[in-house]
């Protein structure tokens, strides 16, 4: 149990730091109202979870500890759907309803496609 918690905690710390670094980097390169950093992080996280899920489906002998550290810890801290919701809400609050709708649709549809693509990469 302690090793599971440690794997999740380590994965979570690395996921949070990765999310921060990517979000900050994208924000510096492409400043603007559209939350591109959050969108990119969500797409990458969905692609990664599709790949990992596919790997563990096909290879159940792979370490459950590694699976928990990566999927629960790292990706749980890395993906940012709570931030996604707040970003969409802020666009709505600022009177940018059409941009908010585009952001929500692109995020949800893009992440579903990225999860499918990640899974297909393992097939």
Annotated binding site for Na(+): 76, 79
Which residues are annotated binding-site positions?
A: 76, 79
Q: How far is CA 29 from CA 11, 26, 80, 106, in A?
A: 27, 5, 20, 20
What single-letter DSSP state applies at residue 68? I
Q: Supply 122's token pair.
A: 């393992």
Sign of CA dihedral 22, 26, 28, 31: negative
């Amino acid at each position: 149990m302690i090793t599971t918690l440690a794997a999740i905690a380590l994965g979570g710390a690395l996921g949070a730091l990765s999310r921060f670094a990517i979000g900050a980097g994208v924000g510096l390169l492409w400043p603007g109202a559209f939350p591109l950093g959050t969108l990119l992080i969500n797409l990458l996280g969905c692609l990664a979870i599709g790949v990992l899920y596919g790997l563990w489906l096909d290879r159940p002998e792979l370490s459950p500890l590694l699976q928990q550290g990566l999927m629960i810890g790292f990706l749980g801290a890395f993906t940012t759907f709570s931030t996604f919701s707040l970003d969409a809400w802020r666009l709505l609050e600022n009177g940018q309803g059409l941009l908010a709708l585009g952001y929500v649709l692109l995020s949800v549809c893009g992440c579903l496609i990225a999860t499918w693509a990640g899974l297909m990469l393992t097939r």
